[in-house]
Structure formats: structure tokens, C-alpha cells
Structure 1
Amino acid sequence: MTVAVEPDERVRIFGIRHHGPGSARALRKALEDFKPEVILIEGPPEADPIVALAADPGMVPPVALLAYVSAEGEHGDRRAAFWPFAEFSPEWQAIRHALAAGVPVRFCDLPAAHQLAEPPDDHSGGVPGADPGPAGPETPGREDAEALEQVRLDPLGTLAEAAGYDDAERWWDDVVEHRGDGPAPFEAIAEAMTTLREHAPPMPEGHALREERREAYMRKTLRRALKDGFERVAVVCGAWHVPAIAAGLGSARDQGAVTATGDDRTLRGLPKTRVALTWVPWTHGRLAGRSGYGAGVRSPGWYHHLFSEPDRPIERWLTEAARVLRDEDLPVSSAHVIEAVRLADALAALRGRPLAGLDEVTEATLAVLCEGAELPAQLIQRRMVVGERLGAVPDSTPMVPLQHDLRAEQRRLRLRPSALEKEHDLDLRKPTDLDRSRLLHRLRLLEVPWGEPAESGRGKGTFRETWTLLWRPVFDVELIEASAWGTTVRGAASAKARSAAAGAEALTDLTSLAERCLLADLDDALPDVMRTLADRAAADTAVAHLMAALPALVRTLRYGDVRGTSTGPLRTVVDGLVVRVCVGLPPAASGIDDDAARTLLDRVDEVHDALALLDDAEHLARWRDTLAGLIDRPGLHGLIEGRLTRLLLDAGRLERVADRMARAVSVGESPARAAAWIEGFLAGGGLVLVHDDALLRLVDGWIAGLSPEWFTDVLPLLRRTFAEFEAPERRSIGERVRHLGSGDRAGRAPEDPGDDDWAGLDAARVGPAGQTIMEILGWSPSSP
């Protein structure tokens, strides 16, 4: 596209790189010189009423404009888009300059009402200089489009290649970010973008139409500002759009000019939906990604440092890196910092760079401060180069009631959102910690997983929970979606729980939901969940479903009391399930194949552990009686029989277990069934073989007596069984086996064949194998 229009002295178009500190610094100086009467900024016009909040002291970048569909769409989806700003974003500096100078700010991009009316699509490449427009919070890139519109998506890459650079980031840093107080780069950028657009390949039809609409609306907003009588208008936009916006300044006679009539025709008939906008906190980690609005930057922490510390940035950066390493008890001295600065400067000089960039600083950090160790260098990368910084928005920011309620709860419970993972160990005997636990569980019900519970949290006692908290910007979108359920976190979680109970299909889903309701203290929703659960349990005849549902209910009973919640209705359901499981287990265990036996084995273990946790004498006795009556049933699968034998042995309900094992591994049984029996018996751990010589001798003798063919067949099963043991158990079993062999040799009966057993063996061939076996068993020449 060739643009040949007469310049309008009333307008200055500043083509910037999104999230570029050099662009931000140059733009701020250019605005101070130009003194515009109005500033037009690429962004959704619906944000004009809330742009003044950027001047509030409580607004701390990184933050983002969030646009979302305020009414349910035809398919029940809630689309959203972000426009993030960091301290070093040129757009943010333009907003702050305008508010400080009392100059009106208008956003000039295509309204979000039009952009969110269509299915979300990624129009970004996440590359510097390209302007993608808004995208959903997790919108993936389209590789097929990237290849076709490479010049458009990565204009800086083309310019860098023309300048002899193989890295667009490095070229941009050298010519803009590290340039200091030189002449403004905006005229050169505009000229370069005009040339690039002339040679850019055609975009896919959908992308091209969207770009035309966006640029048409930008031109329309500019014309409106001029019509309103402003004599000095500043336009801040992605560098790619500069030629297209300039094309709207000429008359119809100018070559390449675009008229208002043409733009109106382009914008006619656009789909539209109702949207709302607000400010939300953002993070540097999200800026480093390729999703969302604006080009992703690899090093937001580094760019923030360049913008906020223009004086001696390399020395200050390496000094801060040394402090980070010292905080981790790593020895770093001032001499290390001095040498690192010298190395970074030397690398920059050798490479012809005006200032050491991130590559040189990273190499100096690795070589000097970290002394070549990769792990400390990764710490610097995470803490400083990306720099997980979480922004903040003031209380006056427009929010849905659910967001306001959550903020109030966060203040009351002293749970501050953070972009860094933080572990919280909660003592449920303390009221504040108990309320924290309930809040986190309610948010998880609302699918806002701010906290992730540790699986081992309850292992410390029933009154302890461990949570890992990490706030993500997308949670604000999820809170807005969850606001359809209620205006408070508790009320919304209760409403969603009742809805989930009505729509649950599996019995296990209902038992899990009941557990979560108790953990979240949703006593107003629990009766509805329990009624549905009781009705479903009464109608479900599959014992496997009942067994799968029981453990969650027992956990709820066990740990609900610690929270002071009522579990009466839940106890009634548990009592009925235990009886039905005990009645239905024997038929369910008959005539099953290997896969079904393995599934049933897991269910038996889960129910056994759950009843032990419940510690109800009547239920335990009924369960053990069921197992005792089932163990001698003909045709019982070996896996199940072995497991029941072990459970009853541990409960003290079975004698002469050695005889049972002897029959299971006898010659009359197939090796496959014997192996399954052994696997089931040892599924609870191998400690029994450490303390019972008779059982160990039986297992050892059975394995030793297998034929080569059968040994090969059952070896994978045995290996899987013994691999599940803890390392100390395996070591102890090996020691016991070694002593068993020693005792056999010392106590050999007179009538034993003795050395005749070895007649006919080739000692030369046996020797290496025997040596290997002795090493595996830990024997040495001095062993007895």
C-alpha cells in the first residue's frame, strides 16, 4: 500500500512497540514536546469512562483492561479479552501523561462490542512490533496463518534481517531500547512500516477483513477528534498501523488516501454484543507469554529495570542479581559484581552493541556470579528476567459484586493475592485458618483454583491443611462468569453445588460433591446434595459404584467434625452403603477376569482403608466377616484371594496363613494363578516377608521351583509387585533371603544329595553367572 498524502500539522502518529521501554521513554518525551490537546490510544473505546482510574494511587501496573460479554451468548459462552499495560508500556505512559496534563484520552480501536461478537481468534504472533488486537485469555496461535503473514506479524524481524541481525529482539534493543536520549525514532519507524506494508504478502481473508475494520475505525476516531476542534492530536498505535491511519488524513484526490465514505462502508453491518469493561491486575509472567493482547516480551523484568533505572542499568542489575543469590545463601561478593560488569561491557563491545543487553548480562551472570552453575542462573531468570510482579487496582474500579466480596474476604482473612507461589499451612482449630480453608474450598467449587491443596496435607493430622496459593489474571474472568451463581462467594458456591447435584450422573460425583460442600461449609446446599445422593444410592445396584462412592463419604464424616459441621444426614447414607457393599461384594467377586479382578482389588483396598478411618466397630466387624466368608469361595480369582488373605491376617482374623500360601503356590495350581495370589497378598507392602520366615521361604521356594518358561511368564508380574515396595523393605527382604540360603546350607540333612546336586555342571560357564548372583544378593567370599 502506497501512502502519498499531505501531512496534517495538527496530527502526530506515534508508531510504538507494545511493552517496549525504549518506545515508552521516547513517546513520553515526544508528547511533552508536542503538547497534544487530545491523545488517541489503540484500545477499546468502551474503556473511555474508566481511563481516569489510571491516575488513582491504588492503580499499580501491570494491569489490564478486561472486556467481557455482559449477557449470555446464544451458546452460553462468555467471551473476554485483555489489553494489558506495564509500567514500561508506551500506551500506559501516554495515559499517565494525558491524565497528569489534564488532556482527554480516547481509545480508537474497533469497539470490543464488535470484536467479542464473533468467535475468538488469535490475530497475534506474539512478536515485537506486531499488533494483534485482543484475544481470549488462553487463545492459542495459528501456525498456518503465521507462515503466510510473516512480514505483517513480525515486521521487526524483517527489518532486523535487512540490518544483518538474526534476532529481532536484539536489533530492536540496539536501535531503540538502548539508544538513550537520541532523536525520536517515530518518523523512521513510519517510513519503515510503509515500505514493509508495500511488500507484505496478502493475509488470509478473515484476517485481512478484520484488519481493515480496525484501521477504518481508527481513522474514523481521528476524523472525529479533528471535527471536534482539537488542533493538536496525538495518535499512539502499533507501528504496523501508522501508514493505514495516515492514509485517512488526505483528501480523495491524494494517492492512497482513504475517505470517510469508504471507512463507513467497511464498518457497516458489523455484529455487535453487549459488553462491560473494567481494570484487573496483571502479571509480568502473562506479559512474557504469547497469548492475550500485545506482543509477548521474553523479559518483562529486564524491560521494567531498563525503564525504571536508566542510569547505569547494568551495574544496578548485576548488584540486584547478587542480592538475590545472597538471599539464597550463595556466596557472592562485590568483586564478583565488578567482574561481571566488566565481562558484560566487554561482550557488548566485541559484538558492536551500544549497551550490554540481556544476552551479555545473562552470560556474565552465569560465568561470574553463578560460577557456571545453571541452577542459580535459572533463579535469576525466574526472579528478575521475568520477575513475577502482580499489579493492583483501586477499590473504586468497576467490579461485579462477587469480586467485591472476594476482595473483602481477602482483606478480612489477610490472604493477599500474589503472582508467586506461596505455601500456607492451616490449623483448622484456629477460626481464621478455618475460614481461610472454607474460602479456598468455595472458590474451587466455583472453578477459581486460587489455592491447590496438598495431597499430604491431612497426613499431619485431621486438623491441618496445606495449600499452595498462586493468583492468575484469568481468575477475574472466571469470577465474572461465576457471578451468575450469586453475589457472594458463599452464596455462589452453594447455588453451583445445588445445580451440580441436580445434573450429576455418577454416584461418585455426588459423594465427591458432598465432601466438597462439607469442606466449604455450605450447610444450605448440603441437604439438597444429600437428598440427591440418598436417592441415587438407593437406586444404584452396582456394588462397584457403591464401593467407589464410600471412601469420599467416610473422609467427609471423619474430617467434617473437625470443622464443626453437621454430618447427621451423611452418616445415614454411609451406614446404608456399608451394609449394601457387604451384601453385594460376594456375588460381584465371582467369575471375573484379570482386569475386573484388578479393579475390584482397588475398590476393596479403598473400602478397607475407609472403614479403618471411620473406626466404627460394628461396620468393621461386618466388613471383616464378609471378607472371611468370601475367602474360601470356590473359583475366587487369585488376586482377590491373596489380597483378602493379607487383609484378614493384618486384622488378626486368620490363622495358618502359611498353609494357605503353600496351597496357593503348590504344584497343583497354575503358576499364573499363584503369581496373582502372591501379588494380591503383597499388595499392602512387603514388610510381612521381613518378619515371617515361613512365608518368605514359601515365596522363595516357589520362585526357585518355577520352570524357565513359567519364570519368564510371571517375571513381569513379580517385578511389578516387588517394585511397589519401599527401598528399605526390598533391601531387608534381600538380606533375609541371603540368610535363608545360609541356614539351608548349614542345616542340610544327611540324606540330602549335597554336592551331587551339582554333578554335570560346567564350572567355567556357571562361574560368571554365579558371581553375578552373589553380587546381587550381597554375598562375598567371606560370607558363610
Structure 2
Amino acid sequence: MESTVNEGTFSALRGQLQEAAAAFAGGPDALEGILLGIVDDVDRAVREPLEIFPVCHHSPASALAMARRLREKQPKVVYLELCEDMAPLLTELRNCRLPVAVQAFATEVDGFPAEWAPLSVVAPITEASAEYQAIAYALDAPGVELVLVDRSSDHVFQWQESRNDSTAFADPDAPPAEEEAALHGDAVGVEIGDLRPRFADLEEHLLRHGRVRHWSEWWHQYVELPLGDSDHDTYRQVMLLIGSLFRRLAPGEAHQVRIDEDRERYMWTRMREHLAATGTDPADALYVCGAFHAASRVEEFGVHGANTFAITPPSATKWQHGLIPSSHAAIEAQFGLAAGSVSIAATQWAKNLKRTRVKPYRLAGQAGTKTPKAAKKAASAPAAPAPADQGPAPDRLTGFLQRPPVLDRLDEAELLGWSVEIVRAARRNGYLASTADAIAVFETSILLAGMRDRAKPTPYDFQDAAVTCIEKDTVPGRRDVRRLVEIMLGGDRVGQVGYDALPPLARDVHDRLAPLNLKLQQRGVQRALLDMAARPELQQCSDVLWMLCHLMPHGAARPIMGERKLGERPIQESWDLALGTHQRALIELGYEGVSIEQVLEQRLRRTAYGPHATTAKVLEAVEDATLYLRSRRLADELGRHALEVLATERSVDSAPEVLRRVRGLLAYYRTAEPSLPAWIESFVKTGYAHYCTLLPTAFTDDDASVRQVAAMLGFLFSMESLALSLGCDRNQLELAVAQSHPQDPAKTALLWAARTQLGTLSRADLRARCAELLGNPLVIPAYPHYLSGFLHALEPVPALADFVVEAVSNAFAQLPDPVLLPWLPTLITSLRSSGADLAPLLIREAGRIFPNRLADLDTWVPPWQTDPATATARPPRDHTAAPGSVPLLAAYPTTCDALANLLGCENGWQTPAPAPTGAALLTHHPRTAQALEELLTAP
């Protein structure tokens, strides 16, 4: 609904726009309606009794105009476009170093889809922003009230159709963000003054005709710089004009339009409620909002607008609020700004302050800043009387739009300093830059600015020139030239939340780690050395660090030396700590509880009782409760729940993990406790019956892998003695094995190993079956799979290690190369993929059986080719001929002749006296005679 406007205020501008529209379009059409509608929006906002101050987020021009207006008007009430539930946190900004972000966080949702959790809303604040100027003024000036009027954090998600919706406008030209860009996580960003065209063709038109690469550069060149020195009325009208233009040319997406209009209705409803409740004169108030919302056309607009908007109640979700560190890179990444634009804005803010001598507002005691005495005096001075109503503001738009652009004089000293500094930074980062490159950067910057119709090179022109002249083919270091320019022109400032503004959990962590004597709030990695033997009090620090390692992201607390296992307590540890870098993660832990023990217990319960929890996950939670919390109560509770989960499982997917964790817990309780907990005894008893029931099905199920079936057998065999002592029946296991009839070769070999363990299949029969497999040409291609099954059998039957070595050795000894080489890759890949953890056992056994030296391999006899009974009783061999060997062989001349022919004797016997054939040969070869004698006399 268009408001009634005074035709006299902007009558000259309306006439010019009508003529321009008629000349451009050939007659009145939609273009005229848009242009005149923009003027009407500006006129309507200017005439509103409650002064509207339009801003753009993180704009130095907006911040400068805000500081000027606050000192001139000194309003008693400041209405700020910011989530109303974040108001109590703003006083904590004085304990932080900007930039920081005000955050609303919810780990458990009630009223929203569960997959949205956790919910997070952040509102970043920098010093070069209009919102910070308004906050600092309102909090430090006596008698001034700050009222946040935007939708609450809960309504941010109530008005979203999906979790993937975002208020950010992604910049396709923005490079990938670095580590600092992740400071906000996946939070939804809320900013004051999201001023960017939502009409893609309009933005493309502006960028092309402005000869710039991205939106941030266009705004800096054509809005930021001209408005930096403008008066208050000009600033307001130009910002209202831009906001109205972008609003009227925005595409008509129903969902986004509804959200924008609902936000405006929400804010005007809240402001009218406050004005009515407090009796504040609208002339004594100031409404700070984005220029996009300042040019609103909803019926609720203004102090005399309609009261037709009903604010919905919040959901049952419990929100936590706090401050988290932010950075320029994080703001740029979240809101789709060009890399380095916020840093350039901070530099521009410092230049504006120096040039105009405007005293900015800063919170008293603000970390990282010093409050000027003049600003402190002005903040504490009594409010000046409100200026008399002088009617509507004069038309400043016509003169501003007709004024030619101001050509700034080239500041050669500044540009020369930039050129020298970037060459110095490039050399430090590995570039082969010289003085000639500095001269080239200087001249190229001027050249690029001239090509883009600019008399003075902007930071973006300088950045392009530096990349062109210095960066050749490759980047020798970690940073490229574009990043070096961003650092040189301002750098990525990273904020910090002070100790007093931290949640109780974070302060508790800092207090408990105080004995380490480290600056934990400092960014970067610090090394902590813990010698618990010399300083027993460091044991508590070790406990805290291990819990932080479990709860926080990788890198926040990383152990270098030392580990924590069940039943072990190291006496020395070494840690790399980066709690200052990961301060956001530590603060968000504080939203979940008041101590890290409470947070860890809640997370373990959430994992164990989750809808997708498996037996292995619950047992892992039991182990973590024992390791980090040393809580027998929690471990017993989770252990009983693991028993319930096991009874309901119908798959064997987690059997290997269950076996590993149960073995570890049993070993721990047997050494650390006088008796086993009742839950683990019940778990072994139930698991024995459970896996016996599932065993026949698992052998024939194609979805059950050999490793999983081997883990089931490992549980049954390794827990058998304990299970039988608790009342289990071994016949159940025997029947389960007897009912198993696998078709897969690997599972067949695994079944044979299980039968060998149970005693229903002897070693001789098992050896005979393997020999039969090697003798069947049709089965030879599948023999590697049988070997894989035998390898997995080492899990339940480790005593078969020597037999597995024998089976592999027989394959290599008996098969010819044309048969062996084709399936050798299959054997290797099968062993690597499915038996890597069991290979060391096989290698140790092979090392025990095979000779230690290569020279002994020729005379080595495999132990499986000798009779164990006679091998141990046989006396040492004598290398001399036995006296009874010749008469024995002489008594069997036929045998001697056959052996002589076999040994290649063709010339007959050379004997001095008549003797049986072959006697002379045996006389010359006593060792052969002895071996033959032993062979013939053997029983």
C-alpha cells in the first residue's frame, strides 16, 4: 500500500524521472512506475516521525554517518534491527576483542524437524559497523535505552521452509575460505542491512558498466567512497534510494518476499508496543535498520501504521546464548562477500576517522581499543534537547545524482608504500620479487585505474596489479599474492571472547588447566608437557585434556605422547593445544552443560540411546565412560542397555567390533575389579546363545562377510569357558556348527576350522581335504578364497596358525607356475583386504617354522612331512657307514641292481671278490647305504 506523499519535496526529481522514462521507453510504462515509486518510498521514509536510519552491514560510510548522527541528535531510545533475544549479551561485548558474533544455539529441538539440530544463529559485529556504534552509544550513555526489535532466533527457523535456506547471497567469484572462515560453523547469519541486488541481471549490468569484478568492489567504488563525506540528509536519501531500487527490482519469490515483509511488520509492531508502553516521543528515538527494510511498503509501516500483525509464540526449543569469536574471513564467507572486502572496509574506516576527525563510539573497557577522552566525555554528557521540527528534509537526491564523480587526487606516497610493502611480503613468502616488480606494480595500478575510469587506484586495482606483476607460474609458499595483499591492507582480524564473557564450562576448563601455565586464549598451537610422576596434580589436567580431545574438533587438544587405554595410566604426556583457535567449539560445549563431565555423560547417553545405536556403539560408550569419566554407575547403566540392544539385533554387522570391545572390557574388569560386573556376565551368557542362534544363517547369508562370521565364532570360542560356567550348554554350539552348510569357499574353510576346534574334524582329515583341493584342477582358482577363510579362522582358532602356513606352503610347492601365478594376485588382495589384522600372527608362525638362514633352506624338511612321533625319538645321524649295511644289501641283489640303475651306474660293479650286484657302489656311498638301511628297517 503506497502512502500519501508530499509532491513538493521531490517534485523536481519526479519531473526529471518522468521525462527520462518517457524518452527511454517511448511513453509512460512500467519503468515510470518503478522510478516514481522509488521516489515515493524515499519521501515516505523521510517523512516518518520516528527517524529511520538506513545502513548497510559492515559499511564504514554507514558507521561514520551513524557516529555523526548520534552525537548530533543523542536519542533517548535506539531501536536496532537485531534478534530481540540477543539483547542480554550485548553488555558482554566490552569483555571481547572485536570482531565477535552474538550467537543463539540449541542442541535439542522441540517444534522443528530433528534433522535440523543443532540450531545456530549468529550476528557478527565489527567495529566498522553502524550497529556497533549504536550499541556502544546506548550502553555507555546514561538514560539511553537500547531495544532490539527484529524477530527472535526461534522465529528465524519458524519462517524457514527448509534447513538449507540461507539469508546469505553467495558470491560465485569468491575464493574458497581458509580456516578462519569456519569460525561460524554452519550457523544461519543475521546481519543489519543485507544490501545487494536480488535481480541477477541488474547486478551483472552494474558490474559490467562499472568495470569491476564483484559486488564488493562496485559498492566500495560507487557508494562507499561518495557517501564517506556526505551530510546526514544526503546519506539517508541515497541509502533509501538504493534500498527501494533493489527492493522493487527483486524477483517475486513468494517465500522470500513473505519473510522480508513479515520481518518489517514484526519490527514496527514491536516499536509501536514500546512507544505505547513507555510513552516515548518518536522524535527522541532512532530506528536503525537495513536500507532494504527502510523502504518498506507494508501496512504496519510507521508509528501510525496498522496493528494487524500477530506475532506467533516461540516454540518449546530451549535456546542458549553466548558470544563466539568471529573474523573478517568468516563474515565474508557467510554473507557471500569478496575475500578481503571486510578487511578493506576496516582500513577505509580508519582513513575516514582520520580524515573527518569524527570521534567514534567505543564501549568503555573494550578489549583491543582505547576509548578517546573526547568520546568518553561526549558519551557521558547530558542529552541535548531534540531539534525543533523543521519540516521535511530538503531534496538532496537531485543534486547528488546530477553531481559528476569526484576525482580523487592520486596519493603517490600511499601507492608507493603499498608497492614496496607487497614486494617485501612476497619475498618473505618465497617469491623472486625485486625492486623492478615494485615499480611494475606501481605503474600497473595507475594503468588499471585509468582503464576503469578511475583517477586513483583502489585497493582492488592494486590487488590486480600485484597479481599480474608478481605471481608468475606457481605459488611457492602457502599464500598467493592476492592473499598477501589482503593481509597487507588490513589482514584477517580474528576476534576473541574474553574470560568474563565465556560460559561457565569454558571458564572451568581454563581454571582447571591453569597448572599448565599456558596462554590458553592465545591463537595458535602450544605444547604442553605433563610429568605426572614429578607433579601428581597434573593428573587432573590430563583428565581434562582427554575429555576435550574426545569432545572437541581435531586439533583443539591433540596428544603427541601418551595414550589412554583401559587399565593403563601413563606417567608422562605431551599435548598440542589450540583452544584459542577453537574457541567457538569450546563455547558451544558450554551451551550443553556447566562442566565437561556433564556434557560427556549427556553425549554418551545420547549415543547409546539413539535410534540407530548398535551393540558396538553402546559398548564403545561403556568404554568411554570408564576411560574418561571413571564412572562405574554410568558404565553399568550403559552395559545393561547394551544387553538389551544385543537381544534385539538380527544382523551380525557389528560382530567384529563387539568381540574386540568385550574382550577389552573383560580383560580390564578381571585385573581392576574383584569380580566381574553383573551386566557383563549377563552379556556373555546372552551373547553366547544369541550368536549360536544366528550362526547357521550367517554361514549361508551372502550379506554376512567372512570376517563377521569369524568374529561370531571368536566370541563363542573365547567366551566359552565363562559362558559354560554361567550355565550355557555347549551342545547348542555343536548343533549350530552341525547345521551350518555354507557354499562360499572362504566360509567353508572357516567351518572346517570350527569343526577342528570342536573336535569333530581331525587335523589329518583337514590336511587331506586341503590336499584334495590342490589336486582338483577345477577348484584351484578358488583356493585363495579357502586360504582367506583359514586366515580368518585364526580369530576363533589361533592354534591353526601352523596349519595355515602349511596350506600356503603346499600351494607354492606343488602348483606349477602357469597355475600359481594367475591366482597369486587374488591371494594377495584377499589377504590384504580381509585379513590385514591377522597377518602378523601368520608371519610370526612362518618365522618360527622356516629356517632362519637361506643356506639352510636346501636341507630343510617341513615339519608336516615328517612323523612327529619318530622325529623326536630319532637319534642324531652318523655320517659314517653302518657296518651292517653291506651284508644287508648283499642279501637282496635285485634291490641293489634296481637302485644302481636308478642312480645311473651303467658300467657294472667293480668288486675285488664275488659279491652281490651293487655292493661296490654302496661301499663307495656309505651315506646312501645308511639312508636305505633306515628306510628298509623302518616299521
Cα distance in 2 between the residues matched to 1:29 and 1:427: 58
Alignment correspondent of 1:281: 324
Alignment correspondent of 2:659: 550
Partner SS for 1:109: strand
Partner SS for 1:512: helix
1:513 Cα offset (Å): 0.7
1:671 Cα offset (Å): 3.4
Change (3 A) 1:554 1:657: same
Cα distance in 1 between the residues matched to 2:294 and 2:768: 89
Identical counterparts, % of pairs: 15
1:355 to 444, 454, 457: 457
Does 2:216 correspond to 1:169? Answer: yes
Residues 413-467 of structure 1 show CA distances to partners (whole Å, capped at 9, x for unaligned) of 6583677677878788776765455435546877888857689985999846877
1:89 Cα offset (Å): 3.1
| Superposition TM-score, scaled by structure 1 size | 0.65
1:193 to 235, 243, 248: 243
User: In the alignment, is the contact (CA less than 8 A) between 2:79 and 2:149 conserved in 1?
Assistant: no
- Larger displacement relative to structure 2 (116-125 or 581-590): 581-590
Does 2:597 correspond to 1:473? Answer: no
Cα distance in 2 between the residues matched to 1:529 and 1:281: 34
User: In the alignment, is the contact (CA less than 8 A) between 1:279 and 1:393 conserved in 2?
Assistant: no
Alignment correspondent of 1:573: 680
- Larger displacement relative to structure 2 (223-232 or 10-19): 223-232
Q: How does 1:140-289 map to 2 (within 5 A)?
A: 151=198, 159-160=206-207, 163=210, 165=212, 167-176=214-223, 182-183=229-230, 185-204=235-254, 206-219=255-268, 228-229=280-281, 231=283, 233-244=285-296, 258=301, 260=303, 262-265=305-308, 267-272=309-314, 278-284=321-327, 287-288=330-331
Q: How does 1:358-507 map to 2 (within 5 A)?
A: 358=460, 360-361=462-463, 364=466, 368=470, 372-373=474-475, 375-377=477-479, 381=483, 384=487, 387=492, 389-393=494-498, 395=500, 399=503, 402=505, 405-406=508-509, 408-409=511-512, 416=520, 435-436=540-541, 438-439=543-544, 442=547, 451=556, 458=563, 463=570, 471=582, 473=584, 476-477=587-588, 479-480=590-591, 482-483=592-593, 487-494=594-601, 497=604, 501=608, 506-507=614-615
Partner SS for 1:126: coil
1:280 Cα offset (Å): 0.8
Partner amino acid, structure 1, of 2:44: V
User: In the alignment, is the contact (CA less than 8 A) between 2:499 and 2:507 conserved in 1?
Assistant: no
1:308 Cα offset (Å): 7.0
Change (3 A) 1:405 1:18: same
Alignment correspondent of 2:638: 529
2:626 to 497, 518, 522: 518
Cα distance in 2 between the residues matched to 1:336 and 1:376: 24
Alignment correspondent of 2:378: none
- Larger displacement relative to structure 2 (219-228 or 111-120): 219-228
| Superposition TM-score, scaled by structure 2 size | 0.56
Partner SS for 2:244: helix
1:693 Cα offset (Å): 12
Partner amino acid, structure 2, of 1:345: S
Alignment correspondent of 2:21: none
2:99 to 55, 58, 62: 62
Partner amino acid, structure 1, of 2:134: A
Change (3 A) 1:272 1:450: farther
1:241 Cα offset (Å): 1.9
Does 2:347 correspond to 1:306? Answer: yes
Change (3 A) 1:435 1:169: same
Cα distance in 2 between the residues matched to 1:378 and 1:320: 11
1:84 Cα offset (Å): 1.5
1:5 to 44, 48, 52: 44
Cα distance in 1 between the residues matched to 2:763 and 2:218: 78
User: In the alignment, is the contact (CA less than 8 A) between 1:285 and 1:387 conserved in 2?
Assistant: yes
- Larger displacement relative to structure 2 (89-98 or 532-541): 532-541
Cα distance in 2 between the residues matched to 1:168 and 1:33: 32
Alignment correspondent of 2:818: 705
Cα distance in 1 between the residues matched to 2:49 and 2:648: 78
Partner SS for 1:65: strand
Partner amino acid, structure 2, of 1:389: V
Alignment correspondent of 1:736: none
User: In the alignment, is the contact (CA less than 8 A) between 1:543 and 1:581 conserved in 2?
Assistant: no
Cα distance in 2 between the residues matched to 1:108 and 1:87: 19
1:303 Cα offset (Å): 3.7
Q: How does 1:339-354 map to 2 (within 5 A)?
A: 342=442, 345-346=445-446, 348-349=448-449, 351-352=451-452, 353=454, 354=456
User: In the alignment, is the contact (CA less than 8 A) between 1:125 and 1:153 conserved in 2?
Assistant: no
Residues 79-113 of structure 1 show CA distances to partners (whole Å, capped at 9, x for unaligned) of 55221212333322332355455573534433417
1:19 to 45, 51, 58: 58
Alignment correspondent of 2:186: 138
1:600 to 683, 688, 708: 708
Change (3 A) 1:231 1:646: same
Cα distance in 2 between the residues matched to 1:348 and 1:606: 74
Alignment correspondent of 2:400: none
Alignment correspondent of 2:388: none
Higher Cα radius of gyration: 2
Q: How many residues align?
A: 673
Q: Where do 5+ consecutive residues of structure 1 fail to align? A: 129-135, 249-255, 612-625, 648-652, 730-738, 744-750, 752-784
Cα distance in 2 between the residues matched to 1:635 and 1:404: 60
Partner amino acid, structure 2, of 1:416: L
Cα distance in 1 between the residues matched to 2:481 and 2:665: 40
Change (3 A) 1:12 1:535: closer
Alignment correspondent of 1:104: 144
Residues 490-546 of structure 1 show CA distances to partners (whole Å, capped at 9, x for unaligned) of 234335545655668532122111111122224142232234446766898988766
Partner SS for 2:110: coil
Change (3 A) 1:509 1:36: same
Partner SS for 1:674: helix
1:553 Cα offset (Å): 4.0
Cα distance in 2 between the residues matched to 1:24 and 1:577: 69
Alignment correspondent of 1:588: 695
RMSD of aligned Cα (Å): 6.2
Cα distance in 2 between the residues matched to 1:17 and 1:258: 20
Cα distance in 2 between the residues matched to 1:560 and 1:419: 42
Change (3 A) 1:380 1:236: same
Partner amino acid, structure 1, of 2:313: P
Cα distance in 2 between the residues matched to 1:560 and 1:365: 64
Cα distance in 1 between the residues matched to 2:203 and 2:543: 50
Change (3 A) 1:283 1:522: farther
Partner SS for 2:659: helix
Cα distance in 1 between the residues matched to 2:703 and 2:557: 33
Cα distance in 1 between the residues matched to 2:461 and 2:828: 53
User: In the alignment, is the contact (CA less than 8 A) between 2:99 and 2:494 conserved in 1?
Assistant: yes
User: In the alignment, is the contact (CA less than 8 A) between 1:15 and 1:237 conserved in 2?
Assistant: yes
Change (3 A) 1:229 1:537: closer
1:663 Cα offset (Å): 5.3
Partner amino acid, structure 2, of 1:704: D
Residues 237-270 of structure 1 show CA distances to partners (whole Å, capped at 9, x for unaligned) of 22212322xx79xxxxxxx9945454421x2353
Q: Where do 5+ consecutive residues of structure 2 fail to align? A: 1-36, 172-183, 355-413, 720-732, 755-761, 795-800, 841-853, 859-901, 903-939
Change (3 A) 1:159 1:277: farther
Alignment correspondent of 1:671: 780
